[in-house]
Structure 1
Amino acid sequence: MIKKAQLPLQTLDLIAGFTVWVILSSLLPFIKHDIFIPDDMLALVTAVPVILGSVLRIPFGYYANLLGARTVFLASFIVLLFPVYFLSVATTYVDLLIGGVFLGFGGAIFSVGVTSLPKYYPKERHGFVNGVYGFGNMGTAITTYAAPVLAVQFGWQMAIKFYLGLLLVMIALNFFLGDRHEPKVKTPIVQQIKAVWKDEKLWLFSLFYFVTFGAFVAFTVFLPNFLVSDFGVDGVTAGIFTSLFIVTAAVVRVLGGWLSDHLDCWKLLAGVFVAMIAGALVLATVPGLELFMAGVYVISIACGIGNGVVFKLVPTYFVAQAGPVNGVVSMMGGLGGFFPPLVLSAFLGATGSYAPGFIAFACSILACLVAVVWLGRTESRKQRGAAGM
């Protein structure tokens, strides 16, 4: 019974963690009315939760193997109580930066489930299982929609305090339903990393996830404030538009995992990058709101499928070192969400337009397309060679 509960429980854990992870970006249009934030600090305030949420994914993946998912999820939700409360009483943008860094625990837990859950299922189902777990990205949609609604009704400070109750619920669920007897892997992390760090697939998978998941995170934190400031929509409507982006990516991530169990992963990824390039070029034309959002949603669908495919590939090629590899790849995905808002802001400051930033984004995706075509052909040749021996 406990083992069967792990997929729904850990997916719920990820939903809860991600709802907390994006509190600042979702409430920034409201927070700005009470706390002065210099223009050159706006992008940093929304991006700082991504920093710790990315870097911690390596140790979180390792400790998920060493201690079990139950322990890591419990500890993470307990720690998150403190920055959430701190942000609810913040009075300066420095407070927002400090509290925001530690919100990163909510994003770091991603590498826990992708390390733990494959232990409970056969290899042929890993794509689908990790796709279902990745549906936990929906947590960001919940916050981008619900937090502005709560802020309108109760104020942004009280809206943040509601998340304290959510964290307490998750602590109780993991205490009672978490698997105390999950199989453990006790190989030292340095030894595991030494075994894989020269493998080009580790770094190329990291690059692919840097772009697919990074774009997902970047648009999640970038859209709410951008839609308000550049298109003049209200905070609640911006939250709805952003939530639709997130829901789309979360739902099709499950589809991406399922497709990767049945189709050629390399061809799927190539299609993902072609679609992302098309979406980025639409955004670079600086269109009206309707066409802009159409481009955003094309990117959303592509990101979701791409995220599902990458985490089919990771456990396929890295079995004994799944914890650290999941951590490295997912860390790079998180960092991929940190840079685009800063780069877009830099281009805006230098040129007065976001268009060059979106063109640079398209160029980075083109590099991934070239890399995935090369890697797919390389792996196909290896398989044919092995079959002919």
Structure 2
Amino acid sequence: MQDAKKVQLPLQTVSLVLGFMVWVILSSLMPYIKEDIELTSSQLAWVTAVPVLIGSVMRIPYGYWTNRHGARRLFMISFALLLAPVFWVSRADSFGDLIVGGAFLGIGGAVFSVGVTSLPKYYPKERHGFVNGIYGIGNLGTAISAFGAPALASSIGWSRTVMLYSVALVLLAGCNFLLGDRKETPVRTPIMEQIKAVSRSEKLWFLCLFYFLTFGSFVAFTVYLPNFLVSHFDLDKVDAGMRTAGFIALATAMRPIGGWLGDRYNPFKILMLVFAGLTAAAILLSFSPSIALYTVGCLTVALCAGTGNGTIFKLVPLYFTKQAGIANGMISAMGGLGGFFPPLLLTAIYGLTGQYSIGFMALAQIALASFVLVNWMFFQDKLTLSAHVLENTIEAILITDTNGVITSVNPAFTAITGYSADEAVGRKPSILKSGKQDKGFYDEMWRSLREKGYWQGEIWNRRKNGEIYLEWLSVTAIRNEAEEVKNYAGMFSDIGSNRRTVEG
């Protein structure tokens, strides 16, 4: 049983490599296919985009089915089903044939949801980012097709090249049958119940946007580059394929690094750098630079997109422990859709204006908006943590403004004093005065606050029911960046009851 678990990461990663190889057959071989099948620029864009669309949408049920039936069955069935569209595409002689075959090739992209849902079951949370990053190396399948398929097609023709994929599909289906985990823990929550549970979270939609941008950039450039480099820079087909493969290889290599960085450091800070880099790269590309600067821009996109792809899935199990399958499916589906729309948009923009600049500027704006949202989530996360500490600490806490009016209290304050938040907020801490300290005591307290910024010591206070108790009180002046006092925070505990317990 333990051996079966150990083999799942390499087995599922290799399975994803093959799935992605099949997913991008059409875009990888398009320079050859369009020589035999006459296609308009619009038809060409649709042929390469349809597998991306179907593969993206199918990721949602694939995440759910993986939880119910396990990765072994999903990979086996998927590879068996892909044999039919591979054969169909190899015999295609029209735009309609390519669309029909391409729709079913989308299964190759949908299998991405299998591993990101299955593999975290075998590892502790602190390794989820790195594990999903290793699995994401399966993106290398697109590089293998982008580089290898054109090289083969130049020797044996594109039709025979497509048919060779069926051999790999049969082999990997057999490997999953023999080595896949037959006892993977199932999750049987109904799909609509899971969708409703996760869709209410704003964090899900932010992660969807981020992955729409990072994985979408990766897929869109993978689909768009081979044909663009040939038509725009007059490169030969094999050279264009090698450059596209280089883009894919860099993005793929950065994925586990992004996952590792997400495990080791704050993932929000990593994403800030990712979206800042994507913004700069997209602005550079929008100026239609020379091939040298264009290469710099594309490689920066690969660097940032790959890092972001690995980091984002570190956040999923942190927010969606019980609905990880459906959350992974929805987020990865949005990533795939991010690869569907840009090539169509770029084609439409090029048809209207004769250039791609507007499309790249749109990418820069979305990346900049994502940068702003990540910053907001980062500080929101810190505020949420602070709120949880405030709510759950056993010490009573009250916050006042500079006039000494209470603005906030925590549940422990109510437990010790008897005053609810509604009763305390808007009033002054003098509601707790016992009368056992004279004016000099409080004058000394305020002198210490003004000079040192804090005061602490024992003080007698009175509960709502009139009972007098002894507490240990710490008061701290809270200053802003200009060193101006904006609030006072008091933290106290009932030490009188503790003393009575010890003495008793």
Could you tell me the TM-score, scaled by structure 2's length?
0.77
Question: Is structure 2 residue 93 aligned with structure 1 residue 102?
Answer: no
**2:339 is aligned with what amino acid?**
G
Aligned to 1:162: 164
Q: Which of 240, 243, 246 is the equivalent residue of 2:245?
A: 243
Superposed CA offset, 1:80-110 (max 9, x none): 0000010001001111111011110000000
**2:67 is aligned with what amino acid?**
N
Superposed CA offset, 1:335-374 (max 9, x none): 0000111111111111111111111111111111111111
Note the C-alpha offset of 1:39: 2.1
**2:290 is aligned with what amino acid?**
G
Find the residue that maps to 1:195 and give its secondary structure.
Answer: helix
Aligned to 1:131: 133
**2:328 is aligned with what amino acid?**
N
Aligned to 2:17: 15
| Alpha-carbon separation, structure 2, partners of 1:232 and 1:362 | 26
Q: Which of 191, 204, 207 is the equivalent residue of 2:206?
A: 204
**1:88 is aligned with what amino acid?**
S
Superposed CA offset, 1:131-188 (max 9, x none): 0000100000000000000000100000101101010111110000000000110111
| Alpha-carbon separation, structure 2, partners of 1:101 and 1:229 | 26
Note the C-alpha offset of 1:62: 0.3
Find the residue that maps to 1:134 and give its secondary structure.
Answer: helix
Note the C-alpha offset of 1:387: 2.4
Aligned to 2:120: 118
Give the total of aligned pairs. 389
Aligned to 1:64: 66
**2:120 is aligned with what amino acid?**
P
**1:343 is aligned with what amino acid?**
L
Note the C-alpha offset of 1:381: 0.7
Aligned to 1:215: 217
Superposed CA offset, 1:245-296 (max 9, x none): 0010111101000000010111110110000011111111101111101100
Aligned to 2:477: none
| Alpha-carbon separation, structure 2, partners of 1:234 and 1:269 | 36
Aligned to 1:386: 388
| Alpha-carbon separation, structure 2, partners of 1:369 and 1:252 | 19
| Alpha-carbon separation, structure 2, partners of 1:387 and 1:128 | 29
Aligned to 1:24: 26
| Alpha-carbon separation, structure 2, partners of 1:301 and 1:236 | 23
Question: Is structure 2 residue 75 aligned with structure 1 residue 73?
Answer: yes
**1:318 is aligned with what amino acid?**
F
Aligned to 1:171: 173
Greater shift in the superposed pair: 63-72 or 375-384: 375-384
| Alpha-carbon separation, structure 2, partners of 1:38 and 1:221 | 16
Q: Indicate the RMSD between aligned Cα atoms, in angstroms.
A: 0.7
Q: Which of 34, 52, 55 is the equivalent residue of 2:36?
A: 34
**1:35 is aligned with what amino acid?**
I
Aligned to 1:293: 295
| Alpha-carbon separation, structure 1, partners of 2:386 and 2:180 | 43
Find the residue that maps to 1:37 and give its secondary structure.
Answer: coil
Aligned to 2:92: 90
Find the residue that maps to 1:378 and give its secondary structure.
Answer: helix
Aligned to 1:190: 192
Aligned to 2:155: 153
| Alpha-carbon separation, structure 2, partners of 1:221 and 1:191 | 35
- Which structure has more relative contact order (CA 8 Å, sep 6+)? It is 1
| Alpha-carbon separation, structure 1, partners of 2:389 and 2:136 | 34
Runs of 4+ displaced beyond 4 Å: none
Q: Which of 204, 223, 226 is the equivalent residue of 1:224?
A: 226
Question: Is structure 2 residue 283 aligned with structure 1 residue 281?
Answer: yes
| Alpha-carbon separation, structure 2, partners of 1:235 and 1:118 | 40
| Alpha-carbon separation, structure 2, partners of 1:231 and 1:162 | 30
Instruction: Give the structure with the larger helix fraction.
Output: 1
| Alpha-carbon separation, structure 1, partners of 2:70 and 2:128 | 18
| Alpha-carbon separation, structure 1, partners of 2:26 and 2:101 | 9
Aligned to 2:426: none
CA contact (8 A) 2:41 2:347 kept: no
| Alpha-carbon separation, structure 2, partners of 1:182 and 1:383 | 34
Aligned to 1:372: 374
Matches within 5 A, 1:348-367: 348-367=350-369
Note the C-alpha offset of 1:223: 0.2
**1:51 is aligned with what amino acid?**
L
Aligned to 1:259: 261
**1:377 is aligned with what amino acid?**
F
**1:152 is aligned with what amino acid?**
S
Superposed CA offset, 1:301-328 (max 9, x none): 0001100111000111101001110000
Superposed CA offset, 1:213-236 (max 9, x none): 000000000000000011100111
Greater shift in the superposed pair: 192-201 or 107-116: 192-201
**2:382 is aligned with what amino acid?**
S
Aligned to 2:494: none
Find the residue that maps to 1:267 and give its secondary structure.
Answer: helix
Note the C-alpha offset of 1:299: 0.4
| Alpha-carbon separation, structure 1, partners of 2:317 and 2:83 | 32
| Alpha-carbon separation, structure 2, partners of 1:373 and 1:268 | 11
Superposed CA offset, 1:190-248 (max 9, x none): 11112121100010000000000000000000000000011100111111000000010
CA contact (8 A) 2:216 2:340 kept: yes
**2:72 is aligned with what amino acid?**
R
5+ residue gaps, structure 2:
393-504
Aligned to 2:53: 51
| Alpha-carbon separation, structure 1, partners of 2:119 and 2:4 | 13
Identity of aligned residues (%): 54
| Alpha-carbon separation, structure 1, partners of 2:54 and 2:355 | 30
**1:339 is aligned with what amino acid?**
F
Find the residue that maps to 1:183 and give its secondary structure.
Answer: coil
**1:285 is aligned with what amino acid?**
F
Find the residue that maps to 1:182 and give its secondary structure.
Answer: coil
| Alpha-carbon separation, structure 1, partners of 2:361 and 2:256 | 29
| Alpha-carbon separation, structure 1, partners of 2:382 and 2:368 | 21
